[in-house]
Structures are given as C-alpha cells and as structure tokens.
Copies of this chain bind each other. A is one copy, B any other.
Amino acid sequence: MERALLEARKAAERGEVPVGAVVACAGEILAADGNRTRERADPSAHAEMLAIRRAAAVLGTDRLSDCDLYVTLEPCTMCAGAIAWARLRRVYYGAADPKGGAVESGVRFFSSPTCHHVPEIYDGIRAMEAAELLKAFFAARR
C-alpha cells in the first residue's frame, strides 16, 4: 500500500485525482500506477484499470487469479467490474467512497448475482492517509 500511496501522490502532482494502485503477485509488484484520465484523455484510465491492464500484459493473460490489488480508494463500479473480470484473488483498499464506490457502497457489486468472481476484500488499509490526499487535492481546487 506504500507504493499505491506514492502513486496517488504522483497523480496529484500531475493534476489528476490522487488515487494509486498496485497489482502484486507472489510478493512482487507487477504493475503500479495512478489516475491518468486527463493526461490520457481516457475516461477508463483509473489507477486500478491501468495497473490491472499492465499486470495482464506482463503475464500475457487476461486472468490474474494469483494476483492481489492494492488501491488507495474503494473501487468504483467500472473498476469493481474489471476486478471481477480479471479474477483478482484479493483486493486491499484504503478509504471508503460512499459517493462513487461499488464495494461497500453503491451497487456493492461483489454481492450481486451478476458478479462471477468475488475476491477477498480487505478495507480501511491506511485509509486516513488515502483520504487526506483526496481531501487536500479537492480543497486546493476550490
């Protein structure tokens, strides 16, 4: 999660919403990135999506069954869907996102019958730091 927080800080420096994500397998980081929706002009370029896509490319498979995702913010609906498609084993996340999250908030996708893979979920990991980054970012923009 240290690395995910670093990626979130780097995203903020780029003027992107500060969320960072890491995909790791057997103790090794396969991919790490932060939000890049503006830089890439890509509405899907959330930190989780970029890390998942990169890890899948590294492993040469669309199934990341032995991999874990670390992300500083509760994944949104799009990213929760991608997590299920990627068959990730575990998801560790930081701050909850009542307004846009889809794990403990919103559509709670992993509890839906249309979710065909449910990872183990660990929430609240260094949540205060992750939330502070977001709070400071949005406060500075007001």
Contact = CB atoms under 8 A, between A and B. Distances in A.
A59 interface: yes
Question: How many identical subunits does the complex contain?
Answer: 2
Main SS of chain A's interface residues?
Answer: loop
A95 B103 CA distance: 27
B77 A62 contact: no
Interface string A91-116: 00000000111100111010011111
Given A112-B106, A113-B106, A114-B107, A59 B77 contact: no
A43 B82 contact: yes
Interface residues of A, number: 43
Contacts of A43: 52-53, 56, 62-64, 82, 85-87
A56 B38 CA distance: 10
A60 B41 contact: yes
Contact of A115 (B52, B77, B87): B77
14 contacts: A37-B62, A38-B62, A40-B57, A41-B59, A42-B57, A43-B86, A43-B87, A44-B44, A44-B49, A77-B77, A77-B107, A77-B114, A78-B80, A78-B81
Given A42-B57, A77-B107, A78-B80, 7 more contacts: A37-B62, A43-B85, A44-B53, A44-B86, A45-B62, A77-B80, A107-B112
